[in-house]
Structure 1
């Protein structure tokens, strides 16, 4: 049983510094995971912080990770099937970047073709609880510029390691077969990564740094041969400034004058109504948590039921056509929405039935 985790955060947030500190008080949820087995998730539940911030964090985490919305009743403990998952454990909440950001971490284990474990990190603006990622905090061309530098360093590391392996191979010894396998692995990896124009990295935000991260050369089956593992290239402190948006300079460097944008590119929840009386929550964001296209994915909930409904998106500028399909792929309803500042408005229609939609960034 996970211990109740309470992490106090000293945040330099002006008037927000008077708010109760953030803490993590995990909730237990029963879910059906790998092989249809029942398991218990100890999922983050954030309290404290400036008014409304914890509520925003909890809503985003439940949507992004559990594909539902938080229940109003804390005794409601059953959630949907989480295929392949065997373990979900909150790792608490901690301050980042001078207390201007907070990170919530979740340890997870799951099984597919192979079983693996890892940590998922979710970052938030400590003043508001809005989720933030590289899409929100960096200039539009930051990834492309950083990738070129990171790629050069990454290739150089592989080449250096390959040269050392080849020197060892020339020596007689019992590990000769393994060395040959490693050389083949890294030569194949290098041939696939020598083209600097091929973008196969991720841009991440870390403590006082931007990080370009590359995956391992070895697949899961050959992981034992891959001594290099993943590769990360970091830019720290003031060296980040040329790559940051004004909002990024505020959160990462402490520049106080920049305001937060109306909506987040890395994932934005909107709350409002259909027909003025049906409360709904809608998500716009990238495909996948580390996606790099601002708005190419959408889903929504009727708040009463908290069941995620997938939407197929067509976008032209700030106009969105969001189509809901049945299990056979047949359209059942369409929302036609226009984004203006922090508001989405338009129409929901199904057959001859039409109802107004009014939503505001949450």
Structure 2
């Protein structure tokens, strides 16, 4: 029997369609973006952000990153669980009065800012910035979005801008002091000592503030050498990125410091020469690109033996030290870690353990994954990955 060519082509076309549906549709589904992220408020010593999108793994990365950092507890597994106050700890150095702002929330970036009051030897307000890849929930650092050369150039520009701010503040104070002497008919030019050797409270305030700012200026070039791109907080919104620097003054001199925290802002368009491909993807709607691969600053999932765990590592600091925190998913009790990195091997000790020999994690870094051993009263396999 002879099969007509038209019928044969029809069969082959149907077979090809079926083949494509089997092999390509799952890939398309896998590549499809997750739903939008909704940021809700959880009441706990004020209000903390909680991300929900239907993508449980992405949501957990975002929420655990914030909660482990701000209150040293795992985020609630579900929004309805809320957060239970720990009997053993009272949050990070007694932090309270939490509030937050959503700075950006679109298909590429979720950016949040959390404000709080922290109390140790004294109480002080502070803020933390949390920037996430909206597709994966991965934390974003400055070193992810700026090239090494671009980051170094920006840090240099930032230092210049910050020093200019101090110099302007000093010039303004000298102008105020000159006007003050003129108003009080003191003929001795500022800043020469007055012939009566007196210095009232206003002149003392001005002189003390100028001395503080001059000390800041003197120390800034040296301190700038030790700033690493990964350690500088970024405030990201829809159109700009702001580098944030803490004030130069200590707590005792804070009342004199009108410069305070410093901010250096840039429009995204002006940062194009400094961005990595991943930075252009996130900040300028560029083509999709992957971030650099390492395990630091991320929420990792893994196992100790057969027990499921969640792990968060800090940045790898300039002396190769680092800290972390992990918990067993079943018990959700945070365990503090401290350690260091040698070559591609990371060692983390359960720093607050009461055991004579504190349990130790020794693992090899493989890209953004860790694989090795948990060594305690027994030795168990350990692994963790995004």
TM bracket (short chain)? 0.7 to 0.9
Distance 1:354 1:126 in 2: 37
Alignment deviations for residues 52-85 of structure 1 (CA, whole Å, 9 cap, x no partner): 4323211222222222223446066233422653
Alignment deviations for residues 178-218 of structure 1 (CA, whole Å, 9 cap, x no partner): 33233222223223235585446835252233434333243
Shift of 1:243: 2.4
Distance 1:137 1:331 in 2: 41
The structure where helix makes up a greater share of residues is 2
Corresponding residue for 1:346? 372
Structure 1 unaligned regions, length at least 5: 1-13, 30-39
Distance 2:329 2:67 in 1: 13
Greater Cα radius of gyration, structure 1 or 2 = 2
> How has the CA–CA distance of structure 1 residues 87 and 178 changed in structure 2, closer, same or farther, with 3 Å as cutoff?
same
Corresponding residue for 1:89? 98
> How has the CA–CA distance of structure 1 residues 54 and 189 changed in structure 2, closer, same or farther, with 3 Å as cutoff?
same
Distance 1:146 1:113 in 2: 35
Tell me whether 1:22 sits opposite 2:34 in the alignment.
no
Tell me whether 1:124 sits opposite 2:154 in the alignment.
no
Tell me whether 1:63 sits opposite 2:80 in the alignment.
no
Pairwise CA RMSD of aligned residues? 3.2
Q: Report the count of equivalent residues.
A: 329
TM norm structure 2? 0.73
Corresponding residue for 1:37? none
Distance 2:135 2:319 in 1: 25
Return the match for 1:158 from 148, 151, 166: 166
Distance 1:357 1:16 in 2: 31
Distance 2:241 2:76 in 1: 35
TM norm structure 1? 0.78
Shift of 1:50: 5.4
> How has the CA–CA distance of structure 1 residues 328 and 184 changed in structure 2, closer, same or farther, with 3 Å as cutoff?
same
Trace 1:1-362 onto structure 2 (pairs within 5 A).
15-16=32-33, 19=35, 21-29=36-44, 40-48=45-53, 52-72=57-77, 74=81, 77-79=84-86, 80-82=89-91, 84-85=93-94, 87-95=96-104, 99-171=107-179, 172=181, 173=183, 175-193=202-220, 195=222, 198-199=225-226, 202=232, 204-207=234-237, 208-263=239-294, 265=296, 267-275=297-305, 277-286=306-315, 296-325=322-351, 327=353, 330-350=356-376, 353-361=378-386
The structure where strand makes up a greater share of residues is 1
Structure 2 unaligned regions, length at least 5: 1-30, 185-201
